[in-house]
Amino acid sequence: MVNLPLIVKGVCPHDCPDTCSFETQVVDGVAVELRGSHDHPVTQGFLCAKVNRYLERTYHPERLLTPMRRVGAKGEGRFEPATWDEAIADISARLLDVVAAHGPESVVPYSYSGTLGQVQGGGTADRFFHRLGASLLERTICAAAGSTAWAHTYGARIAPPIQDIAHSRLILLWGTNTLTSNSHLWPFIMQAREQGARVVCIDPILTRTARAADEHIAIRPGTDAALALAMMNVIFERGLEDAEFLADRTLGHEGLRAKAAEWDLQRAAEVTDIPAETIERLAIDYATTQPAFIRLNYGLQRHYGGGSAVRAISLLPAVTGSWRDTGGGACLSTSGNWVLDSNFTRGSWVPAGTRSVNMVAIGDALTQDESIKALVVWNSNPAAVAPDLNTVRSGLTRPDLFTVVIEHFQTDTADYADWLLPATTQLEHWDLHKAYGNHYLSLNTPAIDPAGESLSNNEIFRRLARAMGMTDPEFEESDLELVKSLVSDEQFDELRQIGWIEGYVSQTPFVDGPILTPSGRIEIESEALARLGLDLFPTYVAPAELGDAKYPLTLLSPPDHGFLNSTFVNVPALARKAGEVSVLICAEDAAVRGLNEGDLARVFNDRGSFEARVHVTDMVASGVAASYGIRWARNSPGRRTVNDTTSQRLTDMGRGASFYDNAVEIAAIG
Ligand SMILES: Nc1nc2c(c(=O)[nH]1)N[C@H]1C(S)=C(S)[C@@H](COP(=O)(O)OP(=O)(O)OC[C@H]3O[C@@H](n4cnc5c(=O)[nH]c(N)nc54)[C@H](O)[C@@H]3O)O[C@H]1N2
Ligand SMILES: Nc1nc2c(c(=O)[nH]1)N[C@H]1C(S)=C(S)[C@@H](COP(=O)(O)OP(=O)(O)OC[C@H]3O[C@@H](n4cnc5c(=O)[nH]c(N)nc54)[C@H](O)[C@@H]3O)O[C@H]1N2
Ligand code: SF4
Ligand SMILES: [Mo]
CA angle 130/132/134 to nearest 5° reads 70
Residue 584 exposed, middle or buried by CB count within 10 Å (0-12, 13-18, 19+): buried
Neighbours of ion ligand 4 (CB under 5 A): 142
Contact 276, 268 (CB under 8 A): yes
Phi (first) and psi of residue 80, to 5 degrees: -125, 145
Average pLDDT over residues 61-77: 97
Alpha-carbon distance 257 to 265, whole Å?
15
Query: Going by DSSP bridges, is the β-strand pair 374-378/107-111 parallel, antiparallel, or unpaired?
Result: parallel
pLDDT tens across 605-623, in order? 999 999 999 999 999 999 9
Alpha-carbon distance 561 to 569, whole Å?
11
Residue 577 exposed, middle or buried by CB count within 10 Å (0-12, 13-18, 19+): middle
Proximal ligand: closest to the CA of 297: 1
Give the pocket of ligand 1 (CB within 6 Å).
15-16, 113, 142, 174-177, 180-182, 202-205, 207, 219, 221-222, 224, 297-300, 303, 556, 558-559, 561, 563-565, 660
Secondary structure of residue 163 in the 3-state scheme: helix
pLDDT tens across 211-231, in order? 999 999 999 999 999 999 999
Considering only CA atoms, which of 544, 619, 629 is closest in space to residue 589?
A: 619
Alpha-carbon distance 346 to 350, whole Å?
8
Alpha-carbon distance 508 to 522, whole Å?
14
pLDDT tens across 155-209, in order? 999 999 999 999 999 999 999 999 999 999 999 999 999 999 999 999 999 999 9
* Distance from residue 504's CA to the centre of ligand 3 (Å): 23
Peptide bond into 666 cis (omega under 30): no
* Distance from residue 15's CA to the centre of ligand 4 (Å): 6
Q: Which of 177, 335, 556, 565 to mutate to test the pocket of ligand 1 (most atoms within 8 A of CB)?
A: 177
Measured by CA distance, the residue closest to atom 39 of ligand 2 is: 379
Chain center to CA of 130: 24
pLDDT exceeds cutoff 70 at 1: no
Give just the sign of the alpha carbon dihedral 392, 666, 219, 166: negative
Residue 78 exposed, middle or buried by CB count within 10 Å (0-12, 13-18, 19+): exposed
Task: Average the pLDDT over each of 405-409, 466-470, 512-516, 594-598 and give the range with the smallest value.
Answer: 512-516
Alpha-carbon distance 314 to 510, whole Å?
12
Proximal ligand: closest to the CA of 309: 1
Give the pocket of ligand 3 (CB within 6 Å).
12, 14, 16, 18-20, 47-48, 50-51, 183-184, 564
Q: Is the C-beta atom of 643 inside 6 A of ligand 2?
A: yes
pLDDT exceeds cutoff 80 at 372: yes
Alpha-carbon distance 400 to 403, whole Å?
10
pLDDT exceeds cutoff 60 at 149: yes
**Homologous superfamily, domain 6-58:** ADC-like domains (2.20.25.90)
Considering just the CA atoms, what is the radius of gyration of the chain in Å? 25
Determine the atom of ligand 3 nearest the C-alpha atom of 43. 8
For the domain 160-332, what is the CATH code? Answer: 3.40.228.10
pLDDT tens across 307-352, in order? 999 999 999 999 999 999 999 999 999 999 999 999 999 999 999 9
With pLDDT > 90 as the criterion, what percentage of the chain qualifies?
Answer: 98
Contact 612, 583 (CB under 8 A): yes
Q: What is the pTM of this model?
A: 0.98
Strands (E), 71-128: 79-81, 107-111
Sketch the domain layout of the chain as residue ranges.
6-58, 68-141+357-502, 160-332, 553-668
Contact 103, 95 (CB under 8 A): no
Cα distance from N-terminal residue to C-terminal residue, the chain = 65
Measured by CA distance, the residue closest to atom 12 of ligand 1 is: 15
* Distance from residue 566's CA to the centre of ligand 1 (Å): 14
Alpha helices by DSSP H, listed for 411-526, are 457-467, 479-485, 489-498, 509-512
Considering only CA atoms, which of 361, 412, 437 is closest in space to residue 648?
A: 361
Residue 513: the pLDDT is 86
Architecture of the domain spanning 68-141+357-502 = 3-Layer(aba) Sandwich (3.40)
Residue type, 475: F
Which residues are within 8 A (CB) of 576 and not within 5 positions of it... i.e. 6 or more apart?
none
Which residues are within 8 A (CB) of 190 and not within 5 positions of it... i.e. 6 or more apart?
none
Residue type, 96: L
Determine the atom of ligand 3 nearest the C-alpha atom of 54. 5
Determine the atom of ligand 1 nearest the C-alpha atom of 14. 10
Average pLDDT value for the chain:
97
pLDDT exceeds cutoff 70 at 539: yes
* Distance from residue 3's CA to the centre of ligand 2 (Å): 37
Alpha-carbon distance 45 to 32, whole Å?
17
Alpha-carbon distance 494 to 490, whole Å?
6
Alpha-carbon distance 384 to 655, whole Å?
20
Alpha-carbon distance 14 to 456, whole Å?
16
**Residues in the chain, overall count:** 670
Determine the atom of ligand 2 nearest the C-alpha atom of 558. 7
Proximal ligand: closest to the CA of 454: 2
**Same fold for the domain at 160-332 and the one at 553-668?**
no
CA distances from 186 to 13, 44, 190 (A): 20, 11, 6
pLDDT tens across 563-618, in order? 999 999 999 999 999 999 999 999 999 999 999 999 999 999 999 999 999 999 99
* Distance from residue 24's CA to the centre of ligand 3 (Å): 15
Measured by CA distance, the residue closest to atom 8 of ligand 1 is: 564
Considering only CA atoms, which of 532, 527, 525 is closest in space to residue 654?
A: 532
Out of 3.40.50.10860, 2.60.120.10, 3.40.50.300, 2.40.40.20, which CATH number does the structure's domain 553-668 have?
2.40.40.20
Alpha-carbon distance 124 to 388, whole Å?
30
Considering only CA atoms, which of 348, 274, 338, 272 is closest in space to residue 305?
A: 272
Q: Which of 54, 176, 182, 208 to mutate to test the pocket of ligand 1 (most atoms within 8 A of CB)?
A: 176
Q: Which residues pair with 188 in a beta bridge?
A: none
Which residues are within 8 A (CB) of 517 and not within 5 positions of it... i.e. 6 or more apart?
152, 153, 154, 155, 251, 523, 526
Alpha-carbon distance 468 to 96, whole Å?
7
CA angle 123/124/128 to nearest 5° reads 130
Give just the sign of the alpha carbon dihedral 522, 524, 525, 531: positive
Residue type, 419: W
* Distance from residue 45's CA to the centre of ligand 3 (Å): 12
Average pLDDT over residues 138-147: 98
Strands (E), 434-552: 440-444, 500-502, 522-523
Residue 2: the pLDDT is 59
